[in-house]
Structure 1
Amino acid sequence: MKKNIIILSIIMVFGCTNKPDNGKLNIVTTTTMITDLVQNIGGDHINVEGLMGSGVDPHLYKASEGDVNKLVHADIIFYNGLHLEGKLVEVFEKMESAHKTPIALSDALDKSTLIGSDYFASNYDPHVWFNIAYFKLFAQKVTSILSEKDPKNAESYKANETKYLEQLDQLETKIKTTIATLPREKRILVTAHDAFNYFGKNYDFDVVGLQGLSTATEAGVQDVQKLSAFIIEKEVKAVFIESSVPKRTIEALQAAVNSKGHAITIGGTLYSDALGNKGSMEGTYIGMFEYNVNTIVNALK
């Protein structure tokens, strides 16, 4: 990280020449969820570069020299905040000292409504995008910032926001209908790490993650044994791997459960900290959410 800070300082002083210059705002985003959101609101009026791609774990992500260059030349930087992008915090703080302020979308949220966490310096669970109401507030924040920076296109940003919020309303209606087909006693979601607490709170699931809230912590043998006992006691039918987390820990859990005479399957791959590939259903926030719900419900029925 010290290397990145040195690079950042040099670029701040001397500048570079590879900044896109087509009259549009140059936006840099961190996670794939935020990239998708900003593209939906900004449309053709902005250039968007996301630092993280499909399957990338934001908890462990480190900025490259190219990333730092993108950040320095951005007109606006949007990130999640709540220490989700923990290893980028030092870079963002350095940029703030140079009078370029990255925007944490989580600042739009009422902190008193968030789920607490001792794993993060913010003391909150940062996986807030699994609350659609919070993601709507993200959309409103993005619209406000884009309109402030580019007032001539404010009406277009507002129209895009209205359309996107309607799509989020439709998403919520659809997933509630799907979840309603799963009896409450079967709503036990076991995954690689605790990314789904907001999902569980909103849709009445018991959520258990093998690695806790942050993938920076490794699951040990005792964690596996404790969770396997819980799975057997609750007669859980399936567990889930995550696209941005190595599957070996869930496979070890499956083996531990099966060795005790309780058959359990891997119910599929969920998208937690990153979206799927571009062009796929899971490659957008809305598609990812619907895909996850369908995968969970079908496996646990």
Structure 2
Amino acid sequence: MKKNILIVFILAIIFSCKNNKKENGKLNIVTTTTMITDLVKNIGGDYVNVEGLMGSGVDPHLYKASEGDVSKLVNADIIFYNGLHLEGKLVEIFEKMESQTKTPIALAEEIDKNTLIGSDYFASNYDPHVWFNIAYFKQFASKVASVLSEKDPKNAANYNENEKQYLAKLDTLQSKIQGIIETLPKEKRILVTAHDAFNYFGKSYGFEVVGLQGLSTATEAGVQDVQKLAAFIIDKNVKAIFVESSVPKRTIEALQAAVNSKGHKVEIGGTLYSDALGNDGTVEGTYIGMFEYNVNTIVSALK
């Protein structure tokens, strides 16, 4: 019933609302995840107004739009989201908007599908956690710069310069984290986390990645899942496992208890940022800072 009321509300706004005038002459942009919000702020700079729907610690798999969110989306000049069904509960809203000539831009849809990791658990049939491949995030940056330049041609040179500078920072990030990871022996590169958000990271840097809850946090881990993963940890002599900032830590704590009950000690190596960045104003509140923080945390705990 609540779902039907929200859809009616969406349609009412779409048909009755006209886009607000650009605040201070700038494009009004709405984003979904914190990673995309940070990216658009870096490319758009002072020439755009950016409002992210999701904050630190928010799980995009489970996020539901409020009436206020719908108003923001309808009144935006541009909407950027991840896609590949990451924001599963927002898909119907985006579809309704697309039918009314406003086309939200799914950045992950720009990626060559032949290079993506397959998944039977998402409607897209692909693992949506693509931001953990920095090469893909560079594609995001270029797409954002292209869209902003098209919508606001008078500032195109500024967007292109911001893109150039940001891509250089991503190049530096790639080199830095590669150096950090190379200090960890290959046989110790086993990453056990709350859910399977790190498969692209693992593919890029040679980690075997195992998530307790699978690709989506909407999937609950059962007792058998915990026991099976506990046996894996003991067999592989994994030293540390990790909680995630956007996932309740109780499942990983249950996994730790299951391992310890069998006479094998495993530590909780720290908290990783997976589906959301850290708090605004912190190093982990940026994509680059988050990525470096994660790698340092993983390598330090597994050494």
Q: Same fold judged by TM-score > 0.5?
A: yes
Partner SS, residue 262 of structure 1: coil
Counterpart in the other structure of 1:46: 48
| Aligned residue runs from structure 1 range 196-215, under 5 A | 196-215=198-217
Report sequence identity in percent.
Answer: 78
* Superposed CA RMSD: 1.0
Superimposed CA distance per residue, residues 143-177 of structure 1 (whole angstroms, 9 cap, x where no aligned partner): 00000000000000000000000000000000000
Superimposed CA distance per residue, residues 168-187 of structure 1 (whole angstroms, 9 cap, x where no aligned partner): 00000000000000000000
Counterpart in the other structure of 2:110: 108
Rounded to whole Å, the distance in 1 between the matches of 2:21 and 2:117 is: 39
| Aligned residue runs from structure 1 range 140-219, under 5 A | 140-219=142-221
Counterpart in the other structure of 1:239: 241
- Paired residues, number: 301
Equivalent position to 1:73, from 57, 68, 75 = 75
Could you list the runs of 5+ residues in structure 2 that have no partner in the other structure? none
Counterpart in the other structure of 1:29: 31
Rounded to whole Å, the distance in 2 between the matches of 1:146 and 1:16 is: 21
Distance 1:17 1:140, change over 3 A: closer
Rounded to whole Å, the distance in 2 between the matches of 1:196 and 1:211 is: 12
* Matched letter for residue 12 of structure 1: I
Q: Which contiguous aligned blocks of 4+ residues in structure 1 show a shift greater than 6 angstroms?
A: 16-19
Query: CA contact under 8 A between 1:4 and 1:68: conserved in structure 2?
Result: no
Query: CA contact under 8 A between 1:4 and 1:91: conserved in structure 2?
Result: no
* Matched letter for residue 169 of structure 2: Q
Query: CA contact under 8 A between 2:132 and 2:201: conserved in structure 1?
Result: yes
Superimposed CA distance per residue, residues 31-76 of structure 1 (whole angstroms, 9 cap, x where no aligned partner): 0000000000000000000000000000000000000000000000
Counterpart in the other structure of 1:294: 296
| Aligned residue runs from structure 1 range 1-16, under 5 A | 1-15=3-17
Deviation at 1:6, TM superposition (A): 1.2
Residue 231 of structure 2 corresponds to residue 229 of structure 1 = yes
Residue 241 of structure 2 corresponds to residue 276 of structure 1 = no
Query: CA contact under 8 A between 2:192 and 2:211: conserved in structure 1?
Result: yes
Partner SS, residue 272 of structure 1: coil
Counterpart in the other structure of 1:85: 87
Deviation at 1:15, TM superposition (A): 1.7
Query: CA contact under 8 A between 1:236 and 1:264: conserved in structure 2?
Result: yes
Rounded to whole Å, the distance in 1 between the matches of 2:268 and 2:4 is: 40
* Matched letter for residue 41 of structure 1: I
Rounded to whole Å, the distance in 2 between the matches of 1:25 and 1:16 is: 15
Partner SS, residue 77 of structure 1: strand
